Amino acid sequence: MAVDLLLGLQWGDEGKGKIVDVLTQDYDIIARFQGGPNAGHTLEFDGIKHVLHTIPSGIFHKGAMNIVGNGVVIDPVIFQKELDNLKQFNLDIKSILLISRKAHLILPTHRLLDAASETAKGKAKIGSTLKGIGPTYMDKTGRNGMRVGDLEFSDWKEKYRILADKHEAMIGFYNVDIQYDLPELEAEFFKAVEALKELTFIDSEEYLFKAQKEGKKILAEGAQGSLLDIDFGTYPFVTSSNTTAAGACTGLGVAPNQIGDVKGIFKAYTTRVGSGPFPTELFDADGETMGRVGNEFGATTGRARRCGWLDLVALKYAVQINGVTELMMMKGDVLSGFKKLKVCTSYNYKGETITHLPYNIEAENLTPIYKEMEGWNEDLTKMTSEDQFPKALNEYILFLEKELEVPIKIVSVGPDRTQTIHR
Ligand code: GDP
Ligand code: IMO
Ligand code: MG
């Protein structure tokens, strides 16, 4: 059985958590393949709002197995807090959540290094979530990292000490003022590691291979979005992993020819949190309205998200890179009440009109060119089928499908599980 993928196509926060939760009823296994606690995936059902960071978004469904894959980076301290938040749901976590031995560990000093690096960058900072993501992936590719599987060996604390001491020396090189109490952070870390060790560690690539052979349905859950991809995103203002389809192969050990549907999620407009170029960003009342109505505040850091019109050039690029086979449009309800909507269909790049994403999309080189479309006034949040959609919304959807050459299979009209319309 092929492995389906679910990926964010913009700068993250497209609504992946919600949709994975909605789709889990059709799957046996939900597997996260990259990122870590920089992610914040929100789920809403039965009047409860829940934010997950490292734990896959299938966790609330009876019968679904949840896997944290080898491509994920885990902070035991944050993981512990996530588990504590789940206690109220009486889930048998040990039997529904499995962790890859090859997943890397975020140490307290990785977080400190993240802070030191960002402080040293000053104005050029990435706007990182400061969860230690970059430094942990650097240790992974530098072949210095600690993995979950190391915790099963008696010498793990020695390995830890060597790495943490090295990090402390590195923090010194940054020559910035970072205040921290390492013994306190370490006490918290060691405690959380003991709790993590209570969970089930597996060789996840082997587990998934067998599951595929047995005909189990697997959905790989991405974190962040394609424009934050380390290779294809708006570098250097990106995260440190491959958020695109290929990342699911390396982050889970699934062969490329085993990938089935590639489900791409996008918001009906665009948001971005942190630094970096954003061609369609709005600095006016429209942007303010999107942020307010869409409640655009980061699920992990609480920071206000920057808002702007939909950028079809960037979206097309993401569709291509990922080989998207079906689309999901989120938060259409937030656009209700706009008299006119704008969609960026090309860029003026150094005086030339282009329809692809160029190497550099900083504002000094590029201005977006828009198509204006009719808005709609109707409240979408209580709609239950496509037949109820206002004409202007249907036109918006049909225009996007034509431009992107991929069907929009789901239109989300609110944060709740039930506010999901299948087309
Ligand atoms: P993720 O990181 O991709 O999982 O997305 P986040 O959870 O960070 O951000 C998406 C936000 O939008 C969350 O607060 C969701 O509850 C909310 N949301 C998801 N879909 C919709 C929708 O269709 N309409 C509205 N109004 N909110 C939505
Ligand atoms: P989900 O999975 C939105 C952004 C940060 C910063 C850059 C690098 O919820 O969509 P990092 O902490 O990785 O060093 O930050 O990437 N970023 C996200 N933005 N959603 C996310 O995850 C993000 N994870 C990281 O704001 O600009
Ligand atoms: Mg998020």
Active site members: 13, 41, 140
What confidence tens digit (pLDDT) does each residue in 48-75 have?
Answer: 999 999 999 999 999 999 999 999 999 9
Q: Is the dihedral of CA 310, 311, 312, 317 positive or negative?
A: negative
The percent of residues above 70 in pLDDT, for the chain, comes to: 100
Q: Which residues are annotated as a binding site?
A: 12-18, 38-42, 129, 143, 224, 239, 299-305, 331-333, 412-414
Q: What is the 284 CA–ligand 2 centroid distance (Å)?
A: 24
Instruction: Read off the DSSP letter of residue 222.
Output: P
Ligand 2 atom 15, closest CA: 128
Whether the ω angle into residue 236 lies within 30 degrees of 0, i.e. cis, is yes
Confidence of residue 76 (pLDDT cuts 50, 70, 90): very high
Q: What is the spatial distance between Cα 201 and Cα 193, in angstroms, rounded to a whole number?
A: 13
Q: What is the spatial distance between Cα 337 and Cα 304, in angstroms, rounded to a whole number?
A: 22
Q: Is 134 in the pocket of ligand 2 (CB under 6 A)?
A: yes
Measured from the CA of 223, which atom of ligand 2 is nearest?
Answer: 2
Q: Is the pLDDT of residue 82 over 90?
A: yes
Closest ligand to the CA of 228: 2
Buried b or exposed e, range 326-337, using 16+ CB within 10 angstroms: ebbbbbbbbbbe
DSSP 112-130: HHHHHHHHHHGGG------
Ligand 1 atom 14, closest CA: 42
Q: Which two tokens stand for residue 79?
A: 């993981």
Pocket test for ligand 1, best of 13, 328, 380 (most atoms within 8 A of CB): 13
Q: Is the pLDDT of residue 299 over 90?
A: no
Residue 416 has what pLDDT? 98
Q: Is the pLDDT of residue 101 over 90?
A: yes
> Which stretches of 206-351 are assigned E, i.e. beta strand?
218-221, 259-267, 270-272, 306-308, 310-311, 326-330, 340-349
Q: Is 404 in the pocket of ligand 2 (CB under 6 A)?
A: no
Closest ligand to the CA of 239: 2
Residue 208 has what pLDDT? 98
Q: What is the spatial distance between Cα 109 and Cα 111, in angstroms, rounded to a whole number?
A: 5
Q: What's the mean pLDDT in 113-136?
A: 97
Domains of the chain as residue ranges with CATH: 1-99+201-261 (3.40.440.10), 102-194 (1.10.300.10), 265-420 (3.90.170.10)
Pocket test for ligand 2, best of 33, 128, 136 (most atoms within 8 A of CB): 128
Q: Is the pLDDT of residue 36 over 90?
A: yes
Q: What is the spatial distance between Cα 400 and Cα 394, in angstroms, rounded to a whole number?
A: 10
Q: What is the 126 CA–ligand 1 centroid distance (Å)?
A: 23
Q: Which residues are annotated as a binding site for Mg(2+)?
A: 13, 40
Q: Is the pLDDT of residue 114 over 90?
A: yes
Q: Is 274 in the pocket of ligand 2 (CB under 6 A)?
A: yes
Instruction: Read off the DSSP letter of residue 106.
Output: P
Q: What is the 320 CA–ligand 1 centroid distance (Å)?
A: 24
Measured from the CA of 412, which atom of ligand 1 is nearest?
Answer: 23
Measured from the CA of 20, which atom of ligand 1 is nearest?
Answer: 4
Q: What is the 123 CA–ligand 2 centroid distance (Å)?
A: 18
Measured from the CA of 276, which atom of ligand 2 is nearest?
Answer: 27
Q: Which two tokens stand for residue 50?
A: 């829940």
Q: Is 105 in the pocket of ligand 1 (CB under 6 A)?
A: no
H-helix or E-strand spanning residue 266: strand 259-267
Q: Is 135 in the pocket of ligand 2 (CB under 6 A)?
A: no
**What rounded mean pLDDT belongs to the chain?**
97
Q: What is the spatial distance between Cα 400 and Cα 393, in angstroms, rounded to a whole number?
A: 11
What confidence tens digit (pLDDT) does each residue in 137-189 have?
Answer: 999 999 999 999 999 999 999 999 999 999 999 999 999 999 999 999 999 99
Q: What's the mean pLDDT in 406-410?
A: 98
Ligand 1 atom 18, closest CA: 415
Bridge-based pairing of strands 340-349 and 326-330 is unpaired
Ligand 2 atom 19, closest CA: 12
Confidence of residue 1 (pLDDT cuts 50, 70, 90): confident
What confidence tens digit (pLDDT) does each residue in 338-390 have?
Answer: 999 999 999 999 999 999 999 999 999 999 999 999 999 999 999 999 999 99
Q: What is the 53 CA–ligand 3 centroid distance (Å)?
A: 8
What confidence tens digit (pLDDT) does each residue in 230-288 have?
Answer: 999 999 999 999 999 999 999 999 999 999 999 999 999 999 999 999 999 999 999 99
Confidence of residue 19 (pLDDT cuts 50, 70, 90): very high
Residue 180 has what pLDDT? 95
Ligand 2 atom 13, closest CA: 239
Confidence of residue 300 (pLDDT cuts 50, 70, 90): confident
Q: What is the 136 CA–ligand 2 centroid distance (Å)?
A: 15
Q: Is 44 in the pocket of ligand 1 (CB under 6 A)?
A: yes
